[in-house]
Amino acid sequence: MRNEILIVAVLGIAAAGCSKSVPVVQSPDGRIAVTLDRNDSSLSYRVDVDGHPLILPSGLGFVADGLVSAPDARMSLAFAEADTVWHQPWGENKEIRDHYNEMAMTLADSALTMTFRVRAFDDGVAFRYEWDASGRDSITVMDELTEFAFAEEATTWSIPADFDSYEKNYRVLPVDSVPDANTPFTFMTNSSGIFGSIHEAALYDFPEMTLRRDTASARTLRASLAPMPDGVKAVTPSRFTTPWRTIQIGRKATDLINSSMILNLNEPCRIDDISWIKPQKYIGVWWGMHLGTQTWTMGPRHGATTANAILHIDFAKANDIQGVLFEGWNEGWENWGGNQHFDYIKAYADFDIDSIARYAAANGIELWAHNETGGNIPEYEAVLDSAFAYYQSLGIHTVKTGYAGGFKGGYYHHSQYGVRHYQKVVETAARYHLMIDAHEPIKETGIRRTWPNMMTREGARGMEWNAWSEGNSADYLCILPFVRLLSGPMDYTPGIFDINYNRAKADKGRLEWNGPNADCCIKTTIARQIANWVIIYSPLQMASDLIENYDGQPGFKFFRDFNADCDWSEALMGEIGRYIVVARRAGESYFIGAGTDSEARTLELPLTFLPEGKTYTADIYADDIESGDPSRLAISSRTLTSADTLTIQMAPTGGQAVTLVPVRN
């Protein structure tokens, strides 16, 4: 019989004889407070904002073996504070302030040292568990007991909990109607109007945390960990630190987007030489496969051919695009959905990868590799080093990975097994100077601070859903920045210009590989497609349409001018599910992206974020309101300064994109 004990019980016993409430830790601005409370058998925490409860006393702990503490365990408290500024090689903001107050409660006896560490920031709170049972080889974790008990009714935005996929539509539900959810889990309290989001940071060697409703308390959500096939949640070393459990907090919805708390909870960069890590724009043969005009497998419609590669490299060079990606370049795609056997080195006969790599290098274009695993993790890990060494020899610096299929052995994508694998790929890639773009990934938890070659991920319904399903609505796109994007960059693959798929529908031999798609189309205006390059942040940003659909399109100038390597970003305006306005600066140029839901909307945007005393030439890509045609743009230019206000007029499902370039005297 497994010797199981609740860590919460250990904490409660150890605190016997101490005061009922340990001291409070407050955020630097004093608005947010976290208090630890105990009764005879358990420990709980609560969170107050502006003197009012946000999270009521909520349970803490794990069910695990080997974490047995003596009743006379010594208790100590330690307090710390930090206020530093650090710089990252790329990101929404390259300069980040890390400012918090910390409280750590440690319980120690001869067999176990347990620390519960809490940090309070101006933009939220975080806590984690640290244990050291040095007399044991390992600890088996069966369950986590962390709770989030809401003090009042709240409106929530989330996707259902799923240990294999994040590609779900959002639900808008009262908190007491949420059966389960993945994180980030965004909410707004109904009476106090506080915005928040529950997530986790620094997820390593541990299963992801989802949330499930406590049937005994309707407004309480409990942590639920992705299990292994045998039901065990995690096996950890005897000395271990869990991921941070986080609650981002803001007065406005945009405060959540502008928070750097998740990044700040991760460790500094572990890669010594980061000169090879470079944001970029890219194109590729991807959209045609989803539309059914091309195939991943070799044949008359094969997308990744030598001739097609040369066309894309030439297009990239002519349009100031740094990278090209070719899915379906390697042998094995005929096995997709079967034994999931892919060859990560041998190219199809019609894709001369050596000559393509030389041609790309000669033209200053970065060639990407694509690795679809189909979930065959043992096979992929067996060749990881040899494949990455081969890519490095070709001058490749970016790999897009894919996991479209169930993991062998019954493992979940988001279990400890999966988390370990995804991290192994990142660390192996770093040794070979390769950046990673992960699809079907484990969710982002800020590890890009520590491993900045982890550039971007999918982790939500991306553009491809528009090719063969009901698609992603403008309302969905107005929720995405306030939920999924709170965790980090997303490779959504924006920028479809042929929004009705006229070219694809004219192709009489078009394939329907995922069911009928004759009525599929993009559910936004073309102006919103352009704006998404700014709104949906990724340091690797794709122009995803067929390159033929960009020829002769004046709106494509925005992408040519756009710089994916931004220095500063801010969400300026927004309401969850209704509209969003984001500005980014790269060098001296600024880019604005705005989008609305299914309603037409006019916003007045003060340009006070621009430096005073400078004049900018603004190229404005707006909806053609007069025609009412979502496939048409209204393009104009004017000069603007920080004293001006920009009127953003958007059609239903529409948007607006703006470039601001300083005027040279």
CA distance 595 to 480: 12
CA distance 485 to 582: 13
Q: Three-class SS of residue 656?
A: strand
Instruction: State residue 606 phi and psi, 5-degree precision.
Output: -65, 135
Torsion angle of C-alpha atoms 325, 331, 337, 339, degrees rounded to 10: -140
Instruction: Give the DSSP letter of residue 496.
Output: -
DSSP string computed for 240-263: EEPPEEEEEEESSHHHHHT--HHH
Q: Are 391 and 399 in contact (CB under 8 A)?
A: yes
Q: Are 118 and 34 in contact (CB under 8 A)?
A: yes
CA distance 397 to 278: 9
Q: Are 429 and 399 in contact (CB under 8 A)?
A: yes
CA neighbours within 13 Å on the CB side: how many for 194?
23
Of 621, 630, 620, give the one whose Cα is nearest residue 651: 630
Of 247, 239, 236, 161, give the one whose Cα is nearest residue 206: 236
Which are the contacts of 300, defined by CB distance < 8 A and separation ≥ 6? none
CA distance 123 to 273: 32
Distances (CA, A) of 309 to 204, 390, 541: 37, 19, 19
Instruction: State residue 128 phi and psi, 5-degree precision.
Output: -150, 165
Which residues are known catalytic residues?
464
What is the total residue count of the chain?
A: 665
Q: Are 26 and 120 in contact (CB under 8 A)?
A: yes
β partners of residue 282 = 323, 542
Cα 150 → chain centroid: 25
Tokens read off for 596: 């609305």
Tokens read off for 36: 């630890």
Q: At what angle do helices 377-393 and 416-431 cross, to 10 degrees?
A: 10
Which are the contacts of 251, defined by CB distance < 8 A and separation ≥ 6? 193, 194, 195
Which are the contacts of 419, defined by CB distance < 8 A and separation ≥ 6? 203, 204, 205, 206, 207, 208, 442
